[in-house]
Amino acid sequence: MAGTSAVIFVPDDTNKTGYGRPLMLSRIMGSPLLSWLVSALIARGAGRFFLVCHEQWATEARACFPAGVDLMVAGSADAADLLHVFLSTAEDEDRETVVVTGPAVFVSTRLTAQANVIPAPSCVYHVDREALMDALDEKFSFLEFLRQRGKAYADRDGVYSIRSGEELAAWQPTLNLQHLHDLIRGGVEIWDYQNCYVDPTVRVGKGTVLMPGTILRGGTVIGENCVIGPNALLENTIIGDRTTVNSSQLYDAHVGSDTTVGPFAYIRPNSHIGDHVRLGDFVEVKNSTIGDGTKVSHLTYVGDSDVGRNVNFGCGTVTVNYDRAKKSRTTIEDDAFIGCNTNLVAPVTVGRGAYTGAGSTITDNVPSGALAVARARQTNKREWANRHKLKESK
Catalytic residues, which ones?
Answer: 298
Torsion angle in degrees (nearest 10) through CA of 279, 284, 285, 287: 170
**Residue ranges with strand state E in 61-103:** 70-74, 96-100
- The DSSP element (H or E) to which 127 belongs, if any, is strand 124-128
Q: Which DSSP string corresponds to 288-340?
A: -EE-TT-EEEEEEEEESEEE-TT-EEPTT-EEE-B-SS-B--EEE-TT-EE-T
> Which long-range contacts link 163-168 to residues 24+ away (Cβ below 8 Å)?
163/103, 163/120, 164/17, 164/23, 165/17, 165/19, 165/23, 165/26, 167/117, 168/23, 168/26, 168/28, 168/33, 168/103
Q: Is the distance from CB of 332 to CB of 305 less than 8 angstroms?
A: yes
Closest CA to 149 of 170, 129, 127: 127
The C-alpha atoms of residue 12 and residue 76 are separated, in whole angstroms, by 11
- What amino acid is encoded at 281 in this protein? D
Q: Is the distance from CB of 291 to CB of 308 less than 8 angstroms?
A: yes
Backbone angles phi, psi at 10, to 5 degrees: -110, 95
Structure letter (DSSP) for residue 24 = G
CB atoms within 10 A of CB 217: 19
